Every structure is written in structure tokens, then in C-alpha cells.
Amino acid sequence: MDTKLLVADFEDWRDAVAEAVTLLEAGEVVALPTETVYGLAACAFNPEAVAKVFEVKERPTFDPLIVHIGRESDLEKVALVPEEIKALVAQLIEHHWPGALTLVLPKHPDVPDLVTSGLDTVAVRLSAHEVMREVAKVHGPIAAPSANRFGRISPTSAQAVMEELGGRIPLIIDGGACRDGLESTIIAPTMTEKGPVLRLLRPGPVSKEELRLIAKVEKVRNKPGAAIEAPGQIASHYAPATPLMIVEKPGQFVPEEGKKYGLLTYRGSGGACLINLTDWTATQTLSPGKGKLSEAAVRFFYCLRELDAAGLDLIVAEPVANTGVGVAIMDRLKRAAAAHRPA
Ligand code: TXA
Ligand code: MG
């Protein structure tokens, strides 16, 4: 299959949106830009189209998809918000939609089980990217996970989607580089005896600090062997094919003769002094200069992708500060490191 690449720039973006909607209505899948990472979209109410998403991504069907809506009022088409959390959900929407916050809520019966992998909840988000929002507004709710093959690095540019899914899908809309660069924060808003609680299922661009302004935040931990509540918590998600090791202090990494090493550093020479440890085959700096976590987040998957393509034996990664969006960067780094660790 030929994969068409359409640039959604100022003059042509309506045509690009129309073309995407036509394909979605025909039961096809298309890659669309969002502010977090690119998504692979299908009509949320068409199980055959949704099945194509799983097939193209080689994604196991136990891993549910996020549903994107184009306007707040469409929430009721995909979710049934319980009375007791209506005010909480309204507050979350007011502060963070459109944006990088995904809400896990009881699902509407119209949403096929395939979308939610049989869970009685659905993950919903309203993207801040005009193209994704407009497509979802004109077409209606669309299911769209990240546009990468399962277990691989999420794409933050149309070019990266082409590398992942070129030849497998009919259309990629190029809406520029993703503004946030990391997948959305996923929370389940709940009411407890002690009041409202936001259960954090995946850290992302909307930080814990920001969420705490609205309600208490509780991190969901997966006990080994316990059923997974959000399959996105699988340790090996978001991984490069190259083994990756997080190195906090120079002594933790001893280079071996003849091996090719790559360095992922936060701000270059000023960091944990890893730069002089060996003759790096490749280096990528997340935020050159003073170091800014938001810039590091935007560049994170791009840098990982570049290092992954450099034919290395090992990627050595320097940790970033565990605050704000740094929590989400560390989450993805730890998963990448866990992917190759012997069980
Ligand atoms: O930023 C994002 O969220 C991107 C853009 C494209 O929207 N999407 C994304 O989708 O990251 P995906 O499928 O790669 O990750 C969605 C995660 C999955 O790990 C899935 O397990 C979790 O959301 N999820 C989906 N439905 C859920 C549910 N009902 N309960 C708990 N977790 C859910
Ligand atoms: Mg993904």
C-alpha cells in the first residue's frame, strides 16, 4: 500500500482534514498529529476499523485505545460520567481540555469492547492540536493510540510515523512537530470516602503538581502478578530496540573495549559528567545549554529514535530531575531500561 503524506499547513489544512474524514468514514485508519505524539485513528464506533488499528500496530488486543473527541459535548457519546464525580470532571475539563490529559471514565455502551479491551471504562481526551480536534469534530469520536508499532518509540513527527507505519496505512497528515512530545497524562477521577481522588495511571505533560491543585493525586502501582489496571503500565512500553541503561554516577558504567556506546544527556557537558567517560559513538542532548524540562520532553523521543538508529550496543542515559514533566521523562526512561533487563 502507498502511504500518502499530506501537509496540513495554513492554506491546505481543511483539505487535509476532509481527506482524513473521508477515509475514516470508509472504515480506514489514518495517522494524525496531536500535541503529545502522533496518533493512528479509526472511527471509535466501527469495530472493523478499530481492528485495523490493532493489526497495523501489531498491538495485542488486551491493550485498550484512547478515544479522541472534537468537542466537550461529545463526552456523553462515549462515557457515562457518574453524578458523584460530575463536578470533579467538569473542573478537570475546564483546566486541561483541550490538552494532554486523558480521563478514564465508565464507558458508554455504544463504544465497542474492542476499543476498551473489554474494560467497563474508556479513556477519553480532547486534543489541543487543531487538526486532530477538527477531524474528531467533523467525523465524531475516533479511537487513536500512538502511531507506532507496539512496544516501540512513539512518533513525534510525520517522518517518524512514516518510518513506523509507511506502507501499512493510506494517509499520514503532517501537522508539524509535536508541541509536548510525550504521551498524555492518564488519570481516573474517583470519589472516595475522604473526597475526590485522581488515580494517576500514566505520568505525562500535565504534571502531578498541576493536578494537585484540583484534587488529591494517588499513584497507581502495579503489584507483580496483579491484574494490570492500565496496560500502558507494561514495563517494556516505549522502548528503543537498543538496550538502555540509566547511569546516575560515572562509576556505575564501565565501558568495554570494542563496544559502541551512545549517550543521552540532559544538557550536555554540564550534567552528571558522563561525557568524558568514553569515546561515545553517538550523543544526543535533550536540552542543550541551561537545560529545560519542557524542551527535554519535546525532544525526548526524537533523541531516542536517533540513538536507536546509530547501531549501538548500549544507550547510556543520564537521569533528569524528577519534578514536573521530568516525572514523565523518567517514567519513559525507566520503561526503556526495563525492556531489555533479563527477567
Ligand atoms: O498522548 C496520547 O495519549 C497519545 C495520543 C495519540 O493521544 N495516545 C497514546 O495512546 O499514547 P496509547 O494507546 O499509545 O496509550 C494509551 C494508554 C494505553 O497504554 C492503555 O493501556 C491506556 O492508555 N488505556 C486506554 N484505555 C484505558 C482504560 N479504559 N483504563 C486504563 N487505561 C487505559
Ligand atoms: Mg503508545
**Domains of the chain, earliest start first:** 4-174 (3.90.870.10), 244-338 (3.40.50.11030)
Q: Which parts of 97-186 fold into alpha helices (H)?
A: 113-116, 130-139, 158-165
pLDDT of residue 292: 95
Neighbours of 250 (CB within 10 A): 13
Q: How far is CA 214 from the centre of its chain?
A: 23
Q: How far is the CA of 201 from the centre of ligand 1 (A)?
A: 10
Q: Is the pLDDT of residue 224 over 90?
A: no
* Structure confidence by residue, pLDDT tens digits, 35-54: 999 999 999 999 999 999 99
pLDDT of residue 61: 87
Q: How far is the CA of 113 from the centre of ligand 2 (A)?
A: 19
Q: Is the pLDDT of residue 228 over 70?
A: no
* Ligand 1 and 155: CB distance under 6 A: no
In whole angstroms, what is the distance from residue 318 CA to residue 309 CA?
A: 19
* Ligand 1 and 119: CB distance under 6 A: yes
Percent of all residues in the chain with a pLDDT value above 90, rounded to a whole number: 83
In whole angstroms, what is the distance from residue 161 CA to residue 170 CA?
A: 12
Rounded to the nearest 10 degrees, how much is the dihedral formed by the CA atoms of 54, 60, 63, 64? 30
For residue 149 the three cell numbers come to: 508499532
Q: How far is the CA of 2 from the centre of ligand 1 (A)?
A: 28
* Ligand 1 and 63: CB distance under 6 A: yes
Query: Which letter does DSSP use for residue 226 in this model?
Result: S
Mutate to test the pocket of ligand 1, among 29, 34, 50, 102 (most ligand atoms within 8 A of CB): 102
Pairing of strands 171-174, 4-7: parallel
Least confident of 24-28, 103-107, 271-275, 307-311: 271-275
In whole angstroms, what is the distance from residue 193 CA to residue 213 CA?
A: 19
H or E element at residue 298: helix 293-308
For residue 318 the three cell numbers come to: 543520564
Give the pTM.
Answer: 0.93
In whole angstroms, what is the distance from residue 248 CA to residue 76 CA?
A: 46
Protein residue with least CA distance to atom 10, ligand 1: 145
| CA distance readout (Å), 44 to 49, 116, 145, 155, 168 | 8, 10, 11, 21, 20
* Structure confidence by residue, pLDDT tens digits, 294-325: 999 999 999 999 999 999 999 999 999 999 99
State mean pLDDT over 179-194.
97
* Ligand 1 and 24: CB distance under 6 A: no
State mean pLDDT over 13-31.
97
